[in-house]
């Protein structure tokens, strides 16, 4: 019969625990910064829902030395993933970023973070729900606090979101590194990560926000993501649920992107379709036609000369005006009342309303 030496087993277990602890300690220097990070590095901490996604968004920015997934914000010491996702702690999933301030500014990290999340969601992030997925910027000093607050104020005043900004600005608390299988997950299992990133809804949201911001910055305009989707991605508004379908005020309609005059209220009529309808454009040279084969029956798609997707033209319009119906998305247009034409630089169109 084999006798088990429990004292020996217990001693071996203690040794393993000590060795494991020493291994973990050896990975971090006395300041708590990972050993592979050079001196002079600064640290930033962000919570944006699933830490896999935030780590992936920030890790490869030039000047970033390391992005570490972990937990912060609560009082429970040494939390585990299972404990945090249970919602029984005040911890959130977060990422701590070590970076070279000579190569990348803190403001750049803040912007990249904010455009990788939905800052209007106070119930979680995308398909991940719960307090452990709330968003926050944890500032390490007063300068970071000031920079982060300015960025949040900028989001609140932009056209990108139609709901209040809910991302919190909090003083940093102790950060606990997450389990090793959560570190660099987007690199360890890219197939599963990409499937999650897309399936959660984050990918589509982040892409359209970034694309909308890009065109707004380039053209100095203020499109909403919805307007971007309609004008640049060929989307179609719902009938009877758009801004101008029943607008009867006198004025002109211009390209929301370029400001080019396109249609007049003089030529607008109620087509009973639920979309703004016109019998003709102000200037046919500003309209570009092409064949749209998205449906079974080909349709004639129309864009502005500047490339803004407007809608379609059909041959079921009023016979007395030529039989054409220009069916336009409200989101592609900006309406200028006749009383404001002069002040907005369209005074030469006032003659349309002399009668």
Active site residues: 50, 327
Q: At what angle do helices 190-199 and 202-219 cross, to 10 degrees?
A: 70
Distance of alpha carbon 112 from alpha carbon 277, whole angstroms: 41
β-partners of residue 68 are 96
Nearest 5°: the CA angle 42, 68, 186 is 130
Q: At what angle do helices 51-59 and 190-199 cross, to 10 degrees?
A: 110
Distance of alpha carbon 58 from alpha carbon 3, whole angstroms: 55
Distance of alpha carbon 198 from alpha carbon 141, whole angstroms: 35
Distance of alpha carbon 92 from alpha carbon 129, whole angstroms: 12
Distance of alpha carbon 313 from alpha carbon 316, whole angstroms: 9
**Given CA atoms 327, 329, 330, 332 in this order, what sign does their dihedral have?**
negative
In the structure encoding, which two tokens stand for residue 100, read together? Answer: 């070279």
β-partners of residue 287 are 304
DSSP string, 49-102: SSHHHHHHHHHTSTTEEEEEEEEESSS-SS--HHHHHTT-SS-EEEEEEEE-TT
SS3 label, residue 309: strand
Ordered alpha helix ranges (H), 140-275: 142-157, 185-188, 190-199, 202-219, 225-232
Distance of alpha carbon 41 from alpha carbon 77, whole angstroms: 26
In the structure encoding, which two tokens stand for residue 4, read together? Answer: 């088990």
SS3 label, residue 111: helix
């Amino acid at each position: 019969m084999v006798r088990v030496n429990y004292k020996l087993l217990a001693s071996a277990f203690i040794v393993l625990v000590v060795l494991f602890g020493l291994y973990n300690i050896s990975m971090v220097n006395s300041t708590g910064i990972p050993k592979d990070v050079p001196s002079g590095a600064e640290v930033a901490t962000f919570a944006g829902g699933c830490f896999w996604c935030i780590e992936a968004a920030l890790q490869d920015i030039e000047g970033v030395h390391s992005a570490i997934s972990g937990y912060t914000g609560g009082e429970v010491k040494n939390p585990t993933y299972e404990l945090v996702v249970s919602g029984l702690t005040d911890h959130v999933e977060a990422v701590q970023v070590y970076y070279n301030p000579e190569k990348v500014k803190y403001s750049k990290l803040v912007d990249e973070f904010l455009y990788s999340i939905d800052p209007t969601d106070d119930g979680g992030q995308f398909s991940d729900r719960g307090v452990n997925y709330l968003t926050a910027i944890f500032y390490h000093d007063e300068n970071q606090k000031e920079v982060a607050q300015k960025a949040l104020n900028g989001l609140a005043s932009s056209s990108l979101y139609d709901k209040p900004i809910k991302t919190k600005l909090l003083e940093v608390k102790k950060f606990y590194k997450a389990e090793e299988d959560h570190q660099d997950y987007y690199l360890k299992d890219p197939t599963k990560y990409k499937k999650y990133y897309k399936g959660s809804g984050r990918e589509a949201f982040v892409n359209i926000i970034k694309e909308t911001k890009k065109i707004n910055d380039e053209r100095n305009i203020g499109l909403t993501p919805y307007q971007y989707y309609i004008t640049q991605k060929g989307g179609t508004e719902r009938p009877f649920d758009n801004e101008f379908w029943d607008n009867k005020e006198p004025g002109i309609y211009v390209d929301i992107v370029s400001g080019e005059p396109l249609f007049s209220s003089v030529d607008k009529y109620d087509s009973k379709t639920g979309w703004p309808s016109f019998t003709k454009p102000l200037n046919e040279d500003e309209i570009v036609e092409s064949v749209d084969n998205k449906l079974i029956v080909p349709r004639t798609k129309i864009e502005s000369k500047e490339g803004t997707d407007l809608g379609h033209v059909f041959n079921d319009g009023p016979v007395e005006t030529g039989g054409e119906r220009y069916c336009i998305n409200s989101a592609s247009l900006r309406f200028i009342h006749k009383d404001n034409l002069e002040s907005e630089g369209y005074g030469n169109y006032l003659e349309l309303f002399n009668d």
